[in-house]
Structure 1
Amino acid sequence: MIQPPVPSRCLGVDPGSLACGWAVVERAGSRLALVEAGVIRNPRGADFDQRCLLIHQRLGEAIAAHAPGFMAVESPFVEKNAATALKLGQIRGGILLTAALHGLPVGDYNPMQVKKAVSGYGWADKDQVGKMVMTLLNLTEALPADAADAAAVAIGHLLATRRG
């Protein structure tokens, strides 16, 4: 008797201090499905430490609710603005710490790797990636851009590794 494939779940994260996208995607065999996705929005005037804390708390809630076996995080292109690059690095550090505190292994994927995994083309634009995310996850409505980017990171991981 053939056993159905064991589903694996990945929490994809698109880091940002004002808008941090996240998505839990499940793979069972060749089938991909969106479990849940969202965008963690921080108020513009919030202190930076409070932004980091909110992202940590919301990602922790997503991990507790959906039990992913892995986290995949998009690594940014090098920022031209040093202050922006430093803040994004700090946000990523907090995200990686959240994964470690929950015992999740982490994969780090650059934007070209994500785009190539999802669309077959490393220079695909945001719109193409969003449409492919909808197609691959069989969605009828588009996700918010940051959540779609996070879903693309999770899809890229699940397709690249064929494990949880």
Structure 2
Amino acid sequence: MSLQTILLGIDPGLQRTGWGVIACEGARISWVAHGVIAPATKLPLTERLGALASGIKDVLDFYNPTEAAVEEVFMAKNAQSALLLGHARGATLSVLAQHHVAVTEYATRHIKKALVGTGGAEKEQVAFMVRRLLPQSGAVSADAADALAAAICHAAERRSPSNHLMAAKG
């Protein structure tokens, strides 16, 4: 009998950070929970980052995942947006490290390809596949769907024999 692993997916953002928790047992995945952390936009940057970190900590404390899949930075529209996203990712990664959660980062295109079959998939297609693979999740916002998609992608990647071979060679 295989052991159950709890995986956390995170789609980081300063305005809205999506999170999704799934359970894995062998090749079987099941939905546990999902949500969005949305700090008040009128707060100073440091307080927004603190609220984001606190929200991630609450998720970690409640669900106790052992692994996390975090969406990598994409090309932002401008340097200021990229910097703010970097702050949100830094706060998120710091909390994960403090809780000794193993982190794997995935490019957005990789996650989309794993779920939909093409790296250029639209958000609606990703959300559709999340609902299809995790029907018990119900209605899922775009941010939470992206986070669940990261977790599903990680569940598939960690089962892949080629990944085990790569890890053994490295």
TM class by shorter-chain length? over 0.9
For the 8 Å contact 1:130–1:142, the answer to whether it is kept is no
Unaligned runs of 5+ in 2: 161-170
CA 1:102–1:40: 2 relative to 1, 3 Å? same
Q: Report how far residue 140 of structure 1 moved.
A: 6.3
Q: Aligned with 2:6: secondary structure?
A: strand
How much does 1:21 deviate?
Answer: 0.4
- Return closer, same or farther for 1:155/1:140 CA change in 2, 3 Å cut-off: closer
- Quote the RMSD (CA, aligned, Å): 1.3
Matched AA of 1:29: G
> More helix per residue: 1 or 2?
2
Q: Could you state the TM-score of these two structures normalised by the residue count of structure 2? A: 0.89
* Pairs within 5 Å for 1:97-136: 97-136=94-133
SS in 2 for 1:123: coil
Q: Which residue of 2 aligns with 1:152?
A: 149
Unaligned runs of 5+ in 1: none
Q: Which residue of structure 2 lines up, in the alignment, with residue 81 of structure 1?
A: 78
- Please say if residues 12 and 152 of structure 1, whose CA atoms lie closer than 8 Å, have aligned partners that are also in contact: yes
Match of 1:36 in 2: 33
Equivalenced residue count is: 160
Aligned residues with identical type, % of pairs: 37
Q: What is the match of residue 56 of structure 2? A: 59
Tell me by how many angstroms 1:76 deviates. 2.5
Residue in structure 1 matched with residue 168 of structure 2 by the alignment:
none
Alignment-mate amino acid for residue 155 of structure 1 = I
